[in-house]
């Protein structure tokens, strides 16, 4: 697989390439937002989908046991975590799954903890479901971002019912260590908090080891519900297939009943065969992808920090999303937004959308060919040089 091959995604109804105007006000901006990849899925996935297309009948479809076999085998080999087929419940996306989990396991007004800055739809999940947001901002240290264990305990003590964990963490790219996860588990046990662990990025590990929260918490009396998917790993997001792993039968039954009440669960044959082919035959593709992503992260860091000395690129341990500290440019969030759009002409994810703590940061997606990074950096560099020159003329 040549991850540097440029494929034209324009005019394909791609959110990243065709809908920047809707979000950023201009279609001329260089797109570096949206967490998907500019790569084709692995060939076995394309072949399996082609077979379904050639058959040409798209009537009601049920997910076969073989998809569950492939999924649990993947989790066992990739994450050394023993999960049985019976523990899986498929859902059309992790975000909708979390919404259903919130509705099933908490009441209106009850507290859900988010560790901020965090993937911004998490806020909508809490707010739209009329739950109360309990915030545990990540702690910024000389070694990077960590979990504020003391404040987490305060939030749990204050009565929060659920912790929505993002592991690995989008947008800051941390792969939480087993020790960090066990600190959370100890508190969740003490305060009887349900942990919903969003592990959609679990396969995208650039350094360190991903430990499923449920596995890290094995020695603790704490219930974990884990959300996973092949969508980030193999670039299948639009196929809308994800799954939830339950530990307790009673909880699983409650969730399944909730889904039935809401008529969630029409299965899609393209998603079924794509996910199964990816899990059965995608390992080699994924290993090559990870090499490419690591190289892109290093390249972006090198290029951007030499173009803009005030930029600090935080190397992600996981995900293909890079968190960049631009606070030293000295702009407030409005000024930075305007500068990125109007001066540099780039569509990046503004840090503040992930929470107030993200102000002054941006998130860049490096799941793209190398030349895509070059163009983004070129635009940022030229804008920076113009800004410096203009400031020099004024002083
Ligand atoms: C942490 C996290 N959860 C969930 C999602 C989206 O999941 P889905 O498309 O399956 O709803 C994303 C996408 O970027 C994500 O980063």
Using the mean position of ligand 1's atoms as its centre, give its distance from the Cα of residue 312 in Å. 25
CATH of the domain at 72: 3.40.640.10
* 367 Cβ closer than 6 Å to some ligand 1 atom: no
Query: Which domain covers residue 193, as residue numbers?
Result: 44-281
Q: Choose one of 221, 252, 281: the last residue of a domain.
A: 281
- Whether residues 35 and 65 share a domain: the answer is no
pLDDT grade for 394, boundaries at 50, 70 and 90: confident
**Counting atoms of ligand 1 from 1, which one is nearest the CA of 34?**
14
Q: What is the pLDDT of residues 181-190, one digit of tens each?
A: 999 999 999 9
Let me know if residue 227 belongs to a domain: yes
Same structural domain, 317 and 224: no
| pLDDT mean over 66-92 | 98
Q: Ligand 1 centre from 122 Cα, in Å?
A: 9
- The preferred substitution site among 15, 95, 242, 323 for testing ligand 1, maximizing ligand atoms within 8 Å of CB, is 95
User: What separation in Å is there between the alpha carbon of 95 and the centre of ligand 1?
Assistant: 6
- Write the pLDDT tens digit of every residue in 150-163: 999 999 999 999 99
Probe ligand 1: pick from 16, 33, 35, max atoms within 8 Å of CB? 35
- The DSSP H or E segment spanning 80 is none
- Is there a domain that residue 5 lies in? no
Q: What is the CATH number of the domain that holds 366?
A: 3.90.1150.10
Instruction: Please give the Cα distance from 349 to 35 (Å, whole number).
Output: 10
Which of 281, 299, 321 lies at the terminal end of a domain, its last residue?
281
Ligand 1 pocket, 198 CB below 6 A? yes
Q: Are 289 and 258 in contact (CB under 8 A)?
A: no
Pocket flag, ligand 1, residue 95 (CB < 6 Å): yes
Within-domain flag for 7: no
The 10s digit of each residue's pLDDT in 257-286 is: 999 999 997 799 999 999 999 999 999 999
Using CA atoms, how far apart are residues 243 and 347, in angstroms rounded to an integer? 31
In this model, does residue 385 exceed pLDDT 90?
yes
> Where does a domain end: 259, 281, 303?
281
Do strands 346-347 and 30-31 pair parallel, antiparallel, or not at all (unpaired)? parallel
Residue among 225, 231, 228 nearest 256 (CA):
225
Q: Which of 37, 90, 121 to mutate to test the pocket of ligand 1 (most atoms within 8 A of CB)?
A: 121
With a CB cutoff of 8 Å and minimum separation 6, the contacts of 337 are: 350
Would you say residue 1 lies in a domain? no
Query: Do 269 and 300 fall within a single domain?
Result: no
* Same domain assignment for residues 190 and 308: no
Q: Is the pLDDT score of 5 beyond 80?
A: yes
> 384 pLDDT exceeds 80?
yes
Same domain, 297 and 252: no
Give the distance (Å) from ligand 1 centre to CA of residue 196. 14
Look at residues 356, 359, 362 and name the one whose alpha carbon lies nearest to residue 308.
362
Q: Is 9 contained in some domain? A: no
Q: Of ligand 1's atoms, which has the minimum distance to the CA of residue 240?
A: 10
Give me the pLDDT at residue 40, please: 98
The answer to whether residues 127 and 224 belong to one domain is yes
**In total, how many domains does the chain have?**
2
Question: Does residue 22 sit in the same domain as residue 87?
Answer: no
* CA of residue 239 to ligand 1 center, whole Å: 13
For the chain, first and last CA: distance in Å? 52
- Per-residue confidence at 395, pLDDT binned at 50, 70, 90? low
Summarize pLDDT for 93-107 with one digit per residue, the tens: 999 999 999 999 999
Q: Is the CB of 237 under 6 A from ligand 1?
A: yes
pLDDT digits (tens, 9 = 90+) for 306-349: 999 999 999 999 999 999 999 999 999 999 999 999 999 999 99
What pLDDT, on a 0 to 100 scale, did the predictor assign at position 265? Answer: 78
- 214 and 296 co-located in one domain: no
* Domain membership flag for residue 3: no
Q: How many C-beta neighbours within 10 Å does residue 11 have?
A: 8
CA 55 vs CA 28, 49, 51, 338: distances in Å: 40, 10, 6, 50
Do 29 and 62 fall within a single domain?
no
Task: Assess whether the C-beta atom of 167 lies below 6 angstroms from ligand 1.
Answer: no
If one residue of 15, 119, 122, 235 were mutated to test the ligand 1 pocket, choosing by the most ligand atoms within 8 A of its CB, it would be: 119
Asked whether residue 4 is domain-assigned, the answer is no
Give the chain's mean pLDDT.
97
Query: Ligand 1 mean position to 125 CA, how many Å?
Result: 12
**Residue 200 in contact with ligand 1 by CB distance below 6 A:** yes
- Residue 92 pLDDT > 80: yes
Q: So what's the pLDDT on residue 162? A: 98
> If you measure from the C-alpha of residue 308 to the centroid of ligand 1, how many angstroms do you get, rounded to a whole number?
30
Tens-place pLDDT, residues 23-76: 999 989 999 999 999 999 999 999 999 999 999 999 999 999 999 999 999 999
**Reported confidence tier of residue 393, pLDDT bands at 50, 70, 90:** confident
Dist. CA 100 → ligand 1 center (Å): 15
Residue 234 lies in a domain: yes
Q: Ligand 1 pocket, 35 CB below 6 A?
A: yes
The arithmetic mean of pLDDT across residues 166-189, rounded, is 98
269 and 306 assigned to the same domain: no
Same domain, 382 and 326: yes
**Residue 147 and residue 130 share a domain:** yes
């Amino acid at each position: 697989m040549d991850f540097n091959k440029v494929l034209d995604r324009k005019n394909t109804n791609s959110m990243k390439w065709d809908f920047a105007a809707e979000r950023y006000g201009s279609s001329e901006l260089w797109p570096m937002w949206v967490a998907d990849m500019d790569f084709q899925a692995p060939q076995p996935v394309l072949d399996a989908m082609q077979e379904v297309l050639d058959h040409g009948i798209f009537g009601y479809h049920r997910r076969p046991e073989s998809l569950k076999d492939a999924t649990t085998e993947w989790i066992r080999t990739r994450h050394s975590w023993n999960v049985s087929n019976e523990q899986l419940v498929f859902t059309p996306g992790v975000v909708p799954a979390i919404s259903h989990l919130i509705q099933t396991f908490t009441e209106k007004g009850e507290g859900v903890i988010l560790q901020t800055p965090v993937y911004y739809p998490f806020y909508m999940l809490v707010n739209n479901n009329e739950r109360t947001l309990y915030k545990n901002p990540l702690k910024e240290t000389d070694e990077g971002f960590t979990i504020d264990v003391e404040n987490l305990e305060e939030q749990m003590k204050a009565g929060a019912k659920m912790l929505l964990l993002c592991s690995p963490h989008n947008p800051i790219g941390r792969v939480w260590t087993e020790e960090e996860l066990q600190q959370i588990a100890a508190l969740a046990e003490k305060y009887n908090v349900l942990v919903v662990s969003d592990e959609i990025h679990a396969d995208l590990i650039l350094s360190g080891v991903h430990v499923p929260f449920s596995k890290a918490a094995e020695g603790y009396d704490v219930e974990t519900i884990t959300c996973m998917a092949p969508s980030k790993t193999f670039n299948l997001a639009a196929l809308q297939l994800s799954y939830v792993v339950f530990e307790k039968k009673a909880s699983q039954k409650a969730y399944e009943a909730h889904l039935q009440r809401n008529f969630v669960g029409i299965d899609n044959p393209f998603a079924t065969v794509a996910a199964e082919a990816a899990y059965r035959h995608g390992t080699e593709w994924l290993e090559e992808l990870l090499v490419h992503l690591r190289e892109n992260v290093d390249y972006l860091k090198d290029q951007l920090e030499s173009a803009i000395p005030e930029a600090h690129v935080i190397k992600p341990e996981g995900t293909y999303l890079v968190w960049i500290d631009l606070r030293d440019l000295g702009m407030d969030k409005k000024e930075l937004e305007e500068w990125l759009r109007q001066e540099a002409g780039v569509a990046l994810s503004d840090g503040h959308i992930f929470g107030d703590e993200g102000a002054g940061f941006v998130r860049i997606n490096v799941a793209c060919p190398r030349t895509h990074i070059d163009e983004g950096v070129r635009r940022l560099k030229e804008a920076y040089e113009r800004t410096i020159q203009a400031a020099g003329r004024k002083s």
